[in-house]
Amino acid sequence: MFSMFEKAIEKLYKVNMGLKEEECVLLLTDDEKDYLVELMEEFIEVGKTLTSRLKSFVYPSLKGHGKEPPEEVWALAFGEAAVEKLKEKGLLSKVLHKEDYSPEEVIGLLKEHAEDVPQVAVVFAHYSTTHTFFRKVLTEAFGCRYASMPLFEPDMFEGPMDVDWQEVARLSTDVADILSEAEWAHVVAEGTDLEFELRDRKGIADTGLFHQKGQYGNLPAGEAFIAPIEGSAYGRLTITYGPDRPLHRPISLKFKDGAVEELEGFEPYRYYLEGVFKQHDSARLMAEFGVGTNPKAKRPDNVLEAEKILGTVHIALGDNHTFGGTNRVPFHTDYVVFEPQVIVGGKGWQKRLLEKGKLRT
């Protein structure tokens, strides 16, 4: 029996993913939240009415964003034989733990031995897979269309998922083009004054429409993002929300040479970040600059939706090697800046992209 989300899930398959009857679909989530496990059953039931080629798996929570999914997920996506070849070469463990390895060698082995690789992946694990090598291989090497939905909650079907996707796509693409042209950016908001370089990096539009081979992004979608030049960020970022809750007190992150040099503010999340930095020093690096473009995104306390709010920007720390950067670390988390002023520019030009939270394309 279908639930109240039947039509919304069907729309996701048809409108967002452009699913065709003959295509293979991979459905993944983790067991972090009971409602995600229940939602898997609904995705399976609706999916069966649209395609006969459906793979699904619920894996143990990885307790952190940006970590590679476990071996079982790789086997489901690429086949047991391909994964065994990676293990024979000692490569799978290195990939899963983000140790030093040759991406070209891994991709070469997978291309040679993979079987029945999905054309469409819908991944609503609580912890994000967006910036993982797993996603990168599926989309870039095999052309899979990939929707990543970390922190997803079912009520989002009635908010930021219920939107004019063509308009979101147009606005996201326009902003991504501006970011691609820019050589630098300056973000100012209450408690925030941060500058960084963007030259020769490509802006990416998260449109919510994944119809062409290799397209990927979030659902709910609605942003344009870019990997700033490593080592270029200077200034201060003040955050008032963690990934899934408002902070009791603001935390300020002081950047120098592209990385968080100092944390200020007495709030438990500060000590969580300090623990991450002690374990992975390169998690300090600024990884991403993004601009929200979804007019129906409203919630500030869930970063999946918050970073899509029209007129906001977000700054991420950690891994960015899958979308144009060079930092590889098992951590990636975004922090939203509300009502910012943003100026971008290059040689001989500059543009006020946002003014007090109003987007000016």
Query: Which residues of the chain does CATH 3.40.1830 include?
Result: 6-157
**Pairing mode of beta strands 192-197, 25-30:** unpaired
Do residues 289 and 357 lie in contact, with contact meaning Cβ atoms separated by under 8 Å?
A: no
The pLDDT score that the predictor gives to residue 244 is 86
Tens of pLDDT along the chain (361 residues) come to: 446 799 999 999 999 999 999 999 999 999 999 999 999 999 999 999 999 999 999 999 999 888 999 999 999 999 999 999 999 999 999 999 888 899 999 999 999 999 999 999 999 999 999 989 999 999 999 999 999 999 999 999 999 999 999 999 999 999 999 999 999 999 999 999 999 999 999 999 999 999 999 999 999 999 999 999 999 999 999 999 998 899 999 999 999 999 999 999 999 999 999 999 999 999 999 999 999 999 999 999 999 999 999 999 999 999 999 899 999 998 999 999 999 999 999 999 999 999 988 998 8
Strand 145-148, strand 120-123: pairing = parallel
CA distances from 58 to 31, 51, 66, 184, 207 (A): 6, 20, 17, 42, 27
What's the pTM?
Answer: 0.87
> Which residue, 126, 154, 122, is CA-closest to 135?
122
Classify residue 348 as left (phi > 0), alpha (psi -120 to 50) or beta.
Answer: left
- Separation CA 128–CA 174 (nearest Å): 26
| Residue 3 confidence (pLDDT) | 67
Question: How much is the pLDDT for 361?
Answer: 82
Question: Could you tell me which residues come within 8 angstroms of residue 222 by beta carbon, excluding any fewer than 6 positions away?
Answer: 160, 163, 168, 171, 172, 206, 208, 292, 293, 294, 297, 308, 310
The architecture (CATH level 2) of 6-157 comes to 3-Layer(aba) Sandwich (3.40)
Residue with tokens 């609706």: 46
Asked whether 313 and 238 are in contact (CB, 8 A), the reply is: no
